[in-house]
Amino acid sequence: MNIAEILKERQKWFEWKNIKPIKEKLDNFQVNSADYKLNDTIEITTNDNLTPQIKELALMLKPWRKGPFKINDLFIDSEWRSYIKWNSLKPHLNLENKDVLDVGCNNGYYMFRMLEMNPKSITGFDPSALFNLQFDFINKFIKSDIDYKLLGVEHIPYYEKKFDVIFCMGVLYHRRDPIDMLKELKAGLNKGGEVILDTLIIEGNDDVALCPVRYAKMKNVYFIPTVKALYNWIEKAKFSDIQFIGKRYTTTNEQRKTDWIDGESLESFLNKDQTKTIEGYEPPLRCYLKLKY
């Protein structure tokens, strides 16, 4: 697989008719100086006289799934309160002087939060041109060295660089072959490295996985395992050790409809009393694991 060729080809995605006008506006958008605070809401302030352009660009960049961000007075209230996941992982992380990859990084919210942990480098992979542009927009203010690539987890084994820590959050259940995906993650690690994995699970003591046609209205969910089945996949991918960080149901406090997305959100994906998905499955439960090389 020739990654340089793939990346060159994918630059054409910025020519798509829904993406091109945003890309052009963003290319002409210059921020001279800005301050930022990496709090739960990533808060940016700038004295540059940019208020109308900031609002126009932020609206063009909808839907904002991950965040929130605040730029001067503009609060980008993303669908997910991403700090809830970040704060639950933070005590388990040591990124000091590490080469870090966030695969499925979306608009880079977590990568921006990582900056305060002094990693040696941060790379993000996500094959979404729109989320890449959201990242570029925020990074116009933050001016970080984070390297965003329009790549997916399947490209990791062929990428020029290996990593000490790979975050892979919210991707596994979207893959048709989860064991292959776990192997791809392992192939991207330096010896002694680790993967921070976040994925959907179902309750149960058997080593089985749910294989739904649709789950919480998502057609691209393939397998949702019990913890026992997930551990079997991880063993087959030949990780040497697994640390269980925790598990948590997603609530409508964490994921909900806001003005910054156009479609529906979790409250419409669950039944009335929020005890089942709309299809009658268990509601979304996630577990967080650390996998050692």
Ligand X SMILES: C[S@@+](CC[C@H](N)C(=O)[O-])C[C@H]1O[C@@H](n2cnc3c(N)ncnc32)[C@H](O)[C@@H]1O
- Please report, as ranges, the residues that interact with ligand X according to CB under 6 A: 66, 82, 103-104, 106, 125-128, 131, 152-154, 169-171, 198
Q: Are 52 and 71 in contact (CB under 8 A)?
A: no
CB of 156 to ligand X, least distance (A): 9
Q: Least distance to ligand X from the beta carbon of 116, Å?
A: 18
Shortest separation between residue 246's beta carbon and ligand X, angstroms: 15
- Nearest distance from C-beta of residue 1 to ligand X, angstroms: 13
Closer residue to ligand X in complex, CB, 63/127: 127
Minimum distance of ligand X from residue 53's CB (angstroms): 25
Cβ atoms of 93 and 116 closer than 8 Å: no
Residue 32 burial by Cβ neighbours in a 10 Å radius (0-12, 13-18, 19+): exposed
Name the residue whose CB lies closest to ligand X: 152
Which residue's CB is nearer to ligand X, number 44 or number 181?
Answer: 181
Q: Which of 103/234 has CB closer to ligand X?
A: 103
**Residue 69 contacts by C-beta under 8 Å, 6 or more apart in sequence?**
41, 42, 43, 44, 75, 76, 78, 109, 138
CB of 282 to ligand X, least distance (A): 18
Nearer to ligand X, 99 or 126 (CB): 126
Nearer to ligand X, 141 or 173 (CB): 173
Q: How far is the CB of 80 from ligand X (least distance, A)?
A: 6
Count the Cβ atoms, other than its own, within 10 Å of residue 86: 17
Closer residue to ligand X in complex, CB, 64/141: 64
Q: Which is nearer to ligand X, 26 or 156 (CB)?
A: 156
